[in-house]
Structure 1
Amino acid sequence: MPRMLDVSEDVRAEIGDEEADRLLAGLNAPGSYDCTSCRTPGDSEQERTSTVLFVGDETAVLAFAHATCIPSQVVQVAEDQLQGAVRSITGEDPNAAQDRPQGAPGQAVLGITSGLVLINGELHPALVVEPTAPIARPGTTGNGGDDFLPLLIEQGFVPISDVNQRPSLLPGWSVLVAMGQLHAVLQPGTGGGSPVAWWQAHQPLQVTDGWRAAANRSHTVLVFAAPVGSIGQQPREDLLRQALEKAASGGRLVAAAMPLAGT
């Protein structure tokens, strides 16, 4: 039976016309599925469904999502990240999501904390990014300074003096939530190419049901960033909010809004 599938031109180019046509005809596509973004059930016979192709160095995984959650697209991810996603699908390595995510701009490691932030009476899903060491500008030997915020401002992040100020959307960036877990923050590829990971989880990061529900409602995630030592690991969202407000009042906070899972 034909499926209500959306197969983007990029996905078709990767999988080939024959496979794309077989999917559309219902030969290789599931009727029911768990949405790769919100993890709730979907039915490609009853509702528009996006085909999402995750591509690593050696592995490619075709997943399905509600078209209202994310569009059909090709997402370039690191091979080890994709293998972690495969393990989460097959049920192996159940504790992987508990590992602390890591990313590496230069030689620094970025830590990410997820939480809900209240702005004008509405809860917004947020990610708070803080490196474990000062960030040197690429190509420099480092002089003891920290260029983390200037580098992000050059990328389009905006300084935040008040956490109640909702940041504007940053074009070309997005937050990738796949199979119900946080996998990466993506930035535009060079020369208009496919998005690349600015930060990616060493192992997929579990988010709360409330965070995921808020993200699915707004299709937008607020990403805050502060230099090392500004926020810390806060055990509760009220303490995280206090740390954000302190960083903002001290001129040590930048932010951007990003669409959920895709550009």
Structure 2
Amino acid sequence: MTAAALPALGLPRRRPSALPGFGPTLGFALAYLSLIVLIPLSVLVWRASGLGVSGLVAVAASPRVRAALETSFYLSLAAAALNAVAGLVVAWVLTRYRFPGRAILDAMVDLPFALPTAVAGIALAAIYATNGWVGALVNDLFGIRIAFTPSGIFVALVFIGLPFVVRTVQPVLADLDREVEEASATLGASRAQTILRVILPALVPAVLTGFALAFARAVGEYGSVIFIAGNMPFVSEIAPLLIIVQLEEFNYVGATAIAVVMLAISFTSLLAINLVQAWCLRRYGHV
């Protein structure tokens, strides 16, 4: 039986592929993901399972843990939301305009990827402290302290999360056909209508992907935050730092319990973002 006869019999036709085959590649993917992701996370859940569901709820409900979780997740969401907007603007400038120093600016976007997190934290703390040139200016003009407060955590999370949005949106913008914008203008649409009804719908899935990546990185960020956060319980203490504190006190069960709670909240949040992204792809995938 030839491959051309398969559709006539109602059988799916196998698409040609450069890889050796579905079976070997699927097996490799499952084995690799199991070794790198599933098995470590399963061990983490197993170590914390001794507490039971009620024990995990009790750990999450304790005042210090709850305050640290709220600080980490609320500030991560806020930083990812700001990066979604700012990253879209930066990607637009880098993609649609040509100007002197564009290549340097494009390379600077990747600096948070290249810098060690400790170096980034020290640099941010020096700049945004009350005796730093930015921190002193903001403190003198508005009476606001940035370093060693939750605002410092927010600044650090924005710093490390921006490249995720820019590098996710930039290739989509580069592939977006300008003829669609010209056709919209020809049909009488204003610039605002073109942006809202033509450009943004095509960019929403990429922006959501960048938002999810920035949020995931911000939730687990440790090195660049501890230098600028102040690390005060109930004020500027993040959940990853609280896990380190539990480990230093040899409370391994408590550390794994906090980690499992973070894992559950992170998984739920990312699942919700992915569902919204899938809905946007179904609705705007034709754009």
Question: TM-score, normalization: structure 2?
Answer: 0.22
Compare the two structures and name the one with the higher helix fraction: 2
Question: TM-score, normalization: structure 1?
Answer: 0.23
Bigger relative contact order, structure 1 or 2 (CA pairs below 8 A, ≥6 apart) = 2
Compare the two structures and name the one with the higher strand fraction: 1
